[in-house]
């Protein structure tokens, strides 16, 4: 039953996703404005990319988000899952946690702006507690507050996924452990983690790949609906958008943008393969 089960999804995926992606791979070896003739330029786009400080900056920021926001999100999500496991009002808490993920990132971004602007909530609190005026977050620490915001948004999502995995663990297992005198850490280490490992591994890979596509939350820091945010907080998705449709006067450089996507995707493929290998070996130990 392998192929009949697989085929419908595979067909849809190949026709509507892989085919145009292969077309884009082809396009990445050309200079193309999306309308006129494609002009073949070999690996020129790739050579330029590796010397383009704008792209390298975006590449670096993408990886920074991947690692920093990823680590923060998973630590917080697991901590929440542990606390929530047998807490009263769990259903409500989970629904509320998830809320930022539902809201259009534009709104969260506007809200984040109100929070961190010079006369915002954070600096009012800063003033009340520490005195002084507090840092200029928006001008000097934009990248950090964006990462904080992304952690906040994603925590609900990953908590939900991890909880769905953890919740499947039969409660009697925990009771057995408690009777055996296991500490919270031991229960986490020997029951929760191994038994939810598949879901955690899935979530980790999912984060690695989907962090590539983080877009709206950062884009909204451009202010209006057609301004790009500062170059210093571009990730690869913003770079690709900026090279194609973005900005008040778009560049429409589909060849170059495709090359950037190919490079990013290749880098993440390597990461995912490594990550899967790492996670699989871990899982075998239990």
Partner 1 sequence: MVNSSPQGRPSKRARVLAAAATGVVALSLVACGSSSGGSGDGKSLTYWSMWKENEPQAQVLQAAADAFKKDTGTTVTIQWQGRDVLKKLTPTLRSGDVPDLVDQDENSVKAALVSTKAQRDLTGLYGTEVSGGKKVSDVISDKYTGTLKVDGKPYLVPYEVIGYGLWFDGAALPNVVSSPPKTWADFTGLLAQRKAGGASPLALDADIANYDGIWITGVLQNELGKDKLNEIAKDKTAKAWDDPKVRAGLAKVKDLVTGGYFIPGYDGGKWPAVQEKWAQGQADFLNMGSWAPSETGGKAKAGFQYHFAPLPKIAEQYVPVQSIGFAIPDKAKNASAAEKFVAYFMRDENLQKISSVAKNLTPNPKLTAPTELADLGKAAAELPVVRPLDGLDSDFPGYVEEAFYPAASDLLKGKTDVDGFIAAIIEKQANYWKKNG
Partner 2 sequence: MGSRSARTDTGPVRRVGIVAVWLLVAFNIGVLLWMLLAALREHTAIFREPWGLSSLGRFGNFVKAWSDSHFGQAALNTVVLVVASSVVVVAVSAPASYVLAKTKTRISGAMAVFFALGIGIPVQVIVIPLFVMMQDAGLVNSLGGLFVLYVALSVPFTVFLLIGFFGSLPEEIEEAAAIDGAGALRTFVQIVLPVARNGLITALILNLISLWNETFIALVFIQDSGKQTLSLALLGFLQTQQYSGSDYGALFAGVSILVLPMLALYVWLGRRIIEGLTVGAVK
Give me the least distance between CB of 139 and partner 1, in Å please: 5
Give me the least distance between CB of 131 and partner 2, in Å please: 20
Quick one: residue 218, left, alpha or beta (phi over 0 = left, psi -120 to 50 = alpha)?
A: alpha
Q: How many residues bind partner 1 (CB under 8 A)?
A: 44
Among 248, 281, 284, 285, interactor with partner 1 by CB under 8 A: 248
Told to check if 42 binds partner 1 by CB under 8 A, we report: no
- Tokens 């009777």 sit at which residue? 179
Rounded CA-CA distance 102/96 in Å is: 10
Among 88, 224, 281, 285, interactor with partner 1 by CB under 8 A: 224
Rounded CA-CA distance 120/34 in Å is: 43
Instruction: Choose among 163, 138, 136: nearest CA to 149.
Output: 138
Give me the least distance between CB of 234 and partner 2, in Å please: 13
Told to check if 67 binds partner 2 by CB under 8 A, we report: no
Residues 149, 141 contacting (CB under 8 angstroms): no
Among 83, 125, 144, 278, interactor with partner 2 by CB under 8 A: 83
- Tokens 């929070």 sit at which residue? 115
Give me the least distance between CB of 272 and partner 1, in Å please: 29
Point out which residues pair with 31 in neighbouring strands: 39
Residues 196, 174 contacting (CB under 8 angstroms): no
Rounded CA-CA distance 64/48 in Å is: 22
Give me the least distance between CB of 243 and partner 1, in Å please: 7
Q: Which two tokens stand for residue 87?
A: 């807490």
Considering only residues 214 to 273 of the shown chain, the ones binding partner 2 according to CB under 8 A are 215, 224-226, 236-237, 240-241, 244-245, 254, 257-258, 261, 264-265, 268-269, 272-273
Positions that interact with partner 1 (CB under 8 A): 33-36, 48, 51-54, 110, 113-114, 117-120, 136-140, 221-228, 230-232, 242-243, 245-253, 256
């Amino acid at each position: 039953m392998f192929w009949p089960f697989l085929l419908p999804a595979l067909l849809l995926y190949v026709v509507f996703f892989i085919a145009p992606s292969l077309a884009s791979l082809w396009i990445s070896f050309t200079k193309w404005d999306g309308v006129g003739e494609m002009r073949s330029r070999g690996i020129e786009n790739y050579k330029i990319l590796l010397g383009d400080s704008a792209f390298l900056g975006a590449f670096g920021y993408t990886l920074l988000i991947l690692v920093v926001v990823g680590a923060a999100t998973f630590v917080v999500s697991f901590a929440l899952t542990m606390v929530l496991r047998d807490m009263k009002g769990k259903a409500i808490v989970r629904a509320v946690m998830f809320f930022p993920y539902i809201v259009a990132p534009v709104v969260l971004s506007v809200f984040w702006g109100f929070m961190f602007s010079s006369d915002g909530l954070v600096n009012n609190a800063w003033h009340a507690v520490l005195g002084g005026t507090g840092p200029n977050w928006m001008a000097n620490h934009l990248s950090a507050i964006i990462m904080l915001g992304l952690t906040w948004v994603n925590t609900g999502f990953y908590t939900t996924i991890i909880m769905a995995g953890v919740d499947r663990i039969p409660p009697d297992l925990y009771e057995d452990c408690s009777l055996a005198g296991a500490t919270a850490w031991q229960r986490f280490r020997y029951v929760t983690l191994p038994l939810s490992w598949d879901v955690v591994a899935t979530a980790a890979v999912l984060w690695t790949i989907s962090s590539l596509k983080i877009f709206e939350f950062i884009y909204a820091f451009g202010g209006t609906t057609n301004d790009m945010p500062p170059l210093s907080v571009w990730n690869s998705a913003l770079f690709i958008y900026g090279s194609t449709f973005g900005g008040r006067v778009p560049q429409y450089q589909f060849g170059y943008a495709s090359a950037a996507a190919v490079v990013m995707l290749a880098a993440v493929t390597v990461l995912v393969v490594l990550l899967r290998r790492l996670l699989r070996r871990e899982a075998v130990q239990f």
